Amino acid sequence: MMRIFIISLLLVSCIGNTNPKANTHVLSYQTQIKHVKQDTLLANIQSKIYNAFVQSLMSKNDTALLKLSLDLEKLHKTHKQNLISYWRSYLQFYLSIYYLKYGDKKAAEKEIDKGTEWMDALENKNSEDYALLSMLQGFRIQFKRMRAMFIANDMKENAKTALSLDTSNIRAYYVYASNDFHTPAKYGGGKEAEQYLLKAISLPTQKVKNEYLPSWGKEEAYELLVKLYIKKESWELAKKYFQDGIKQFPDSYLLNKLASQLVGK
Amino acid sequence: MKHSILIFLIFMFASSAYTQTKISGTVNNKKGVPVFAANVYLKSNPAKGYITDFDGKFVLNIENREDTLVVSFIGFKTRKIALPAIDLNKSIVVVLEKSEQTLDEIVVTAQDPVSEQFSVTKMTMLKDVYLNPVSQGDPLKAISILPASTTINETANPSLRGSSADRTRVVLNGVPIYKPVRASQLNNQGFFSLFNPEIISKQYVYASNPPLTYGNTSAGLVEIQTIKKLEKNQLLLSASLASTGFFLSQKVKKDISFIQVYGNYQFSDAFTSIQKKNLPNLKNFNTTDAGINFRSKISKHIEFNSFNYYISEQFQGVNEQFTYKGDVLSDKKRFFTVNNLVFYFKNALLSVNSEINKSVQHINFGNIYSEQKTTQVYTSVDYKWHIIESTNMQFGLSHDFQQNKFNDSIPLYYYALSPNSPNYFSKSMISNKQLEVYLYTNWDINSKLPFSSGMRSNIPFKNQHYYHSSQLGLKYRLNHKQSILLSTGKYYNYSLPTYYSKVYNLLSSYQVALDYSSEYKNIILNAAIYYKNETGEQALKTFFTSNKISTFGIELYVEQQFLKYFKYSFSNSFINQKMVIEQKHYPGFKNFDYLIKSTIQYNNSSLFSVALSYLTHPGTFYNKVTGSYIENQTSFYKPVFSKNLYTAQYGNYKRLDLSVSKFVPMNKNSMVIFVSLNNILNTKNEKQVQYNADYSIKHFDYHQFRTVYFGVIWRLTYSQGLSSLKEKTRKNI
């Protein structure tokens, strides 16, 4: 129930991903030889960030998120890895949502700015990096009216680049679709979201399971697809993809909250 | 017994093949840097893999010696290694290579200038031209907002860091476009450039130390590239107080070729009739221009681009020189074609570039009549080679042929210009050839420290001097938001002949510049300090020439966005310029204690945009007339100039402009309505000193007074285009 409440807060404020749960089974890492030192902070980091976010919302206190942020920062000081920057930026996204939820727009803007700048500054960005950058930019637009036009352009370009670097990256498809879905029709939006979302849900969250790497995107893609069909009043399709999605993500609040709109259709 | 032994041996062999063993090693990239979080697994069981640690290390159990080791990571090519090929007793090193880019990416990256890192400013059309409060939609005028721009005569012809416009070159798709402005002062808003922003993708400004991939410039360089990819088919229709036009962008073959066709007709009737009082020197003008830009992929690795432009201009106004005031009539016809053929190789790019330019211009004022016919043929071959990840090299050869034919009537006495005053006729033809070779390298010493060097030499014809240009550049990136650029070099160019100076003078300069730039959040801060020493005979106003000009400058620029919709920019330049005339030093034309440019904008696309811009600088110096006497042969007074040259100074220049625009989205189409009010304070900015008949009373000709201009542009997107990427992903879908 609490999870449902918490996710609902997200929806009020953002267009981006909310799901930390990868639709993957846990790898049998136990079988691996233990003498190679594994990092414990980054293992399942996506879930850790989400859990810290939930904890912060429940306690109305940003300590959990800030602590994790600090831990990542410390790790980044000793290991200048792009992947750590990725997760730091990803955390900033949740931190921004947290502040936005509690009405601190300035802090929300500041945190998303940081995350976007870190991602932007990364050298040799890969498809995942571009996808996250595009998503952060999409969220950032609400704070930057003056520069909205430029950010929207960058956001689109980055989503395109993410796709061009890896045409089977589920998050790239989702972010591209999300950008298109949220672009008003009078500015040319809403034409491509459907096909990109259909593609996204057909892809695995990860090609090879890897607990350090991102696995978000699929649940969000289902949710957006159902929303899109509801908007178009294509009720049969909306119900079909709702059922498909709920089969894979039975606890998904994102999907469950749409159920009421499909009742009797 | 034998059988037992054999069975035992077979069993042992077989079991040894399937005995669990380990493989250990490190995953590195090509630079030897460990790859963290790479997937390491066996082909037969991807789920039972390992993820490398921060040192790129891994250890993996092997159950089947005949399996294949797979190593993968985002952005890298997956490596597959057959286990029998691996000595399991040793730790192995797996090197991952970056994924190959798509051809489109190679094309886009390869076409960026090799010297890109060493340009001071990279301008995009949307942000830096269309939303630039001083550009009036003109790509070259947009440069005037930069502190490095020292254009002070309300023209689009760029002057950079105190140098004359004749020392700076504008290059389009690798070929120089000389005199890149319209001949007549249309709209009385200054000379506009020849370039339509819709054909342009990027514009680089090298305020100092132009890259030696191009020649014939001894000040700065503006490098323009036309668009490589057409995003959508669209038609632009425009109508304003003094013009009407269209611009059509159309894909010919999806992802293969596109064409852009445009035309404009400019006329003065409405513009002059509503504000006659403020346009005292303008009688009428009309201009017709048309352009075609065509791009096509000939094959997967060959591209062709052709830009063709024609302009015909007529202008009638009033001019005053010395004591004669009368009509000035001019007309000009010009055509040029720029063609590029580009071949893409795995790590290199070969481009063959050509330009043919023809123009004819007539000017008539008093007893001056001038006809100038110009022909220019330019060809170059450039080879850009990506040697290794950190090093690029470009070399090439260029040939520039120019010919000018003059057919003039020239006043016998420079101060007697009335139609009845004596004159003589002169026909002349001059030409010049420049054959040059160059080598430019760009080496990233590390990710924070790119270094460049260039050299360029001519192969002299006939009596030409041999010259050798060279340069060095070092950039230090303090972090991703801050950088310092140190550049220096020696440069050569030829002046362009004019009615007053029918000669190709060899000019040179030595430059050193330090540029700092930073961008933090919503604040952009740029600063520069530079020195240049220019030599070579340059014609100055009123029949003097200078053969040495030294310039020291300091620049500061700050831009900040605030309160969501607001943005301001402020720049100031201090320029100490000295010129030498007959071995004496005088203040240069760009000797300014301050050159302040300031703008404030409110930009809300759902409401409207409004911008105020202000420019001020001290007046330039001119020669004072101290007296006069009657010259019997002409019955005209002949002026006597002060022996102390350039001691008189025009008044301070001040100009405040206002522009307002409203963007109206209409489904997939849009409309922009704009109004601009120039010199809203109607400041009388002195342009040229004038005298009465006996030079006893002086008065001034002024830069433009307050004028209003307005218009509307419709952007009609009649079919949403698909980029190659979209196509690719769509196919995938």
Test A146 with B564 for CB contact under 8 angstroms.
yes
Chain B interface includes A243 (CB < 8 A): no
Q: Is A201 left (phi over 0), alpha (psi -120 to 50) or beta?
A: alpha
Predicted confidence band of residue B561 (pLDDT cuts 50, 70, 90): confident
CB B263 within 8 A of CB B290: yes
How close does chain A come to B704, measured CA to CA in Å?
A: 32
Dist. CA B282–CA B279, nearest whole Å = 6
Question: Strand, coil or helix: what is B26?
Answer: strand
The secondary structure of A131-199, three-state, reads HHHHHHHHHHHHHCCCCHHHHHHHHHHHHHHHHHHCCCCHHHHHHHHHHHHHCCHHHCCCCCHHHHHHH
Question: How confident is the model at residue B50, as a pLDDT?
Answer: 84
Test B567 with A146 for CB contact under 8 angstroms.
yes
Dist. CA A63–CA B106, nearest whole Å = 46
Residues 96-125 of A with CB under 8 A from B: 113, 117, 120-121, 123-124
Higher-scoring residue by pLDDT: A250, B357? B357
- Buried b vs exposed e over A84-116: b needs ≥16 C-beta within 10 Å? bbbbbbbbbbbbbbbbbbeeeeebbbbbbbbbb
Test A199 with B74 for CB contact under 8 angstroms.
no
Mean pLDDT of B222-245: 91
Dist. CA A109–CA A131, nearest whole Å = 20
Chain A interface includes B21 (CB < 8 A): no
Least confident piece of the model among A32-46, B346-360, B517-531, B695-709: A32-46
**Percentage of chain B with pLDDT > 70?**
92
Burial class of residue B345 in the structure, from the number of CB atoms within 10 Å of its CB (0-12 exposed, 13-18 middle, 19+ buried): middle
Q: Rounded to whole angstroms, what are the CA distances from B347 to A31, B214, B293, B438, B586?
A: 44, 22, 28, 20, 52
Task: Name the strand (E) or helix (H) holding B13.
Answer: helix B2-18
Dist. CA B316–CA A161, nearest whole Å = 52
How close does chain B come to A27, measured CA to CA in Å?
A: 6
pLDDT per residue as tens digits for the range B590-617: 999 999 999 999 988 778 889 999 999 9
Question: How confident is the model at residue B724, as a pLDDT?
Answer: 47
DSSP state string for B471-506:
EEEEEEEEETTEEEEEEEEEEEEEPPP-SS--S--E
Chain A interface includes B31 (CB < 8 A): no
How close does chain A come to B80, measured CA to CA in Å?
A: 14
How close does chain B come to A208, measured CA to CA in Å?
A: 7
DSSP state string for B412-451:
SSTT--STTS-EEEEEEEEEEEEEEEEEEEEEEEETTEEE
pLDDT at A90 over 50: yes
Strand partners, A55: none
CB B659 within 8 A of CB B601: no
**Token couple for B177:** 């476009």
How close does chain B come to A17, measured CA to CA in Å?
A: 20
Test A186 with B668 for CB contact under 8 angstroms.
yes
pLDDT per residue as tens digits for the range A58-70: 899 999 999 999 9
Question: How confident is the model at residue B252, as a pLDDT?
Answer: 92
Question: How confident is the model at residue B133, as a pLDDT?
Answer: 78
Q: For all residues of chain A together, what is the average pLDDT?
A: 82
Dist. CA B139–CA B116, nearest whole Å = 18
DSSP state string for B267-298:
E-HHHHHTSGGG-TTEEEEEEEEEEEEEEEEE
With CA atoms as reference, the chain A residue closest to B562 would be A146
B564, B665, B729 member nearest A163 (Cβ)? B729
CB A111 within 8 A of CB A118: no
Cα angle vertex B359, ends B353, B364, to 5°? 155
Chain A interface includes B481 (CB < 8 A): yes
Q: Roughly what angle, to the nearest 10 degrees, separates helices A170-182 and A218-232?
A: 30
pLDDT per residue as tens digits for the range B373-397: 999 999 999 999 988 878 899 999 9
Contacts of B498 (CB under 8 A, 6+ apart): B539
Test A33 with B22 for CB contact under 8 angstroms.
yes
pLDDT at B459 over 50: yes
Question: How confident is the model at residue B184, as a pLDDT?
Answer: 52
Test A28 with B48 for CB contact under 8 angstroms.
yes
Interface test with A, best of B43, B59, B79, B729 (most A CBs within 10 A): B729
Interface test with B, best of A35, A36, A157 (most B CBs within 10 A): A36
B54, B72, B566 member nearest A79 (Cβ)? B54
Test B733 with A199 for CB contact under 8 angstroms.
yes
Question: How confident is the model at residue B541, as a pLDDT?
Answer: 64
Burial class of residue B78 in the structure, from the number of CB atoms within 10 Å of its CB (0-12 exposed, 13-18 middle, 19+ buried): middle
Q: Rounded to whole angstroms, what are the CA distances from B64 to B31, B45, B71?
A: 32, 11, 17
Q: For all residues of chain B together, what is the average pLDDT?
A: 87
How close does chain B come to A45, measured CA to CA in Å?
A: 12
Dist. CA B469–CA A219, nearest whole Å = 61
Strand pairing class (B584-587; B636-641): unpaired
CB B537 within 8 A of CB B549: no
DSSP code, position B115: T
Q: Is A197 left (phi over 0), alpha (psi -120 to 50) or beta?
A: alpha
**Token couple for A78:** 């000793």
**Cβ atoms within 10 Å of B692's Cβ, excluding its own:** 11
Q: Residue B98: its chain A contacts at CB < 8 A?
A: 124
Q: Residue B668: its chain A contacts at CB < 8 A?
A: 186, 188
Burial class of residue B578 in the structure, from the number of CB atoms within 10 Å of its CB (0-12 exposed, 13-18 middle, 19+ buried): middle
Chain A interface includes B592 (CB < 8 A): no
pLDDT at B135 over 60: yes
Predicted confidence band of residue B18 (pLDDT cuts 50, 70, 90): very low
Higher-scoring residue by pLDDT: B7, B482? B482
Predicted confidence band of residue A201 (pLDDT cuts 50, 70, 90): very high
A36, A126, A196 member nearest B53 (Cβ)? A36
Contacts of B409 (CB under 8 A, 6+ apart): B367, B368, B369, B370, B423, B424, B425, B426
Strand partners, B79: B71
Dist. CA B181–CA B225, nearest whole Å = 17
pLDDT at B17 over 60: no
pLDDT per residue as tens digits for the range A124-147: 889 999 999 999 999 998 887 767
Most confident of B40-44, B273-277, B509-513: B509-513
Predicted confidence band of residue B345 (pLDDT cuts 50, 70, 90): confident
Chain A interface includes B233 (CB < 8 A): no
Number of helices (H), then strands (E), in chain A: 12, 0
B37, B75, B733 member nearest A127 (Cβ)? B75
The HSE-up count of residue B643 (CA atoms within 13 Å, CB side) is 0
Dist. CA A192–CA A177, nearest whole Å = 7
**Token couple for B581:** 């005339």
Distance of CA B301 to the CA centre of its chain: 26
How close does chain B come to A113, measured CA to CA in Å?
A: 8
Question: How confident is the model at residue B191, as a pLDDT?
Answer: 64
pLDDT per residue as tens digits for the range B69-102: 899 888 888 888 888 888 888 888 898 887 754 4
pLDDT at B108 over 50: no
Predicted confidence band of residue A24 (pLDDT cuts 50, 70, 90): very low
Least confident piece of the model among A32-41, B81-90, B155-164, B630-639: A32-41
Q: Residue B105: its chain A contacts at CB < 8 A?
A: 164
Residue boundaries of the structural domains of chain A: 43-102, 217-265
| Of B18, B53, B17, residue with least CA distance to B37 | B53
Test B665 with A186 for CB contact under 8 angstroms.
yes
pLDDT at B460 over 60: yes
Test A167 with B732 for CB contact under 8 angstroms.
yes
Test A121 with B480 for CB contact under 8 angstroms.
yes
Walk across the sheet containing B57-62 and list its strands.
B57-62, B21-29, B92-96
Q: Residue A121: its chain B contacts at CB < 8 A?
A: 479-481
Question: Strand, coil or helix: what is B52?
Answer: coil
Strand pairing class (B68-72; B391-411): unpaired
Q: Rounded to whole angstroms, what are the CA distances from A57 to A62, A98, A103, A255?
A: 8, 7, 13, 21
pLDDT at B475 over 50: yes
Q: Residue B521: its chain A contacts at CB < 8 A?
A: 113, 117
Q: Residue B41: its chain A contacts at CB < 8 A?
A: 208
Test A199 with B732 for CB contact under 8 angstroms.
yes
With CA atoms as reference, the chain A residue closest to B47 would be A27
Dist. CA B201–CA A247, nearest whole Å = 47
Q: Rounded to whole angstroms, what are the CA distances from A222 to A172, A177, A256?
A: 14, 11, 11
- The phi, psi pair for B151, rounded to 5°, reads -75, 120
Test A127 with B717 for CB contact under 8 angstroms.
no
Chain A interface includes B665 (CB < 8 A): yes
pLDDT at A31 over 50: no
Dist. CA B279–CA B271, nearest whole Å = 10
Question: Strand, coil or helix: what is A259?
Answer: helix
Test A32 with B46 for CB contact under 8 angstroms.
no
Strand pairing class (B221-226; B169-172): parallel
Test A188 with B104 for CB contact under 8 angstroms.
no
Q: Residue A124: its chain B contacts at CB < 8 A?
A: 75, 98
For chain B, which domains are there?
Answer: 2-96 (2.60.40.1120), 107-732 (2.40.170.20)
**Percentage of chain B with pLDDT > 90?**
48
pLDDT at B525 over 80: yes
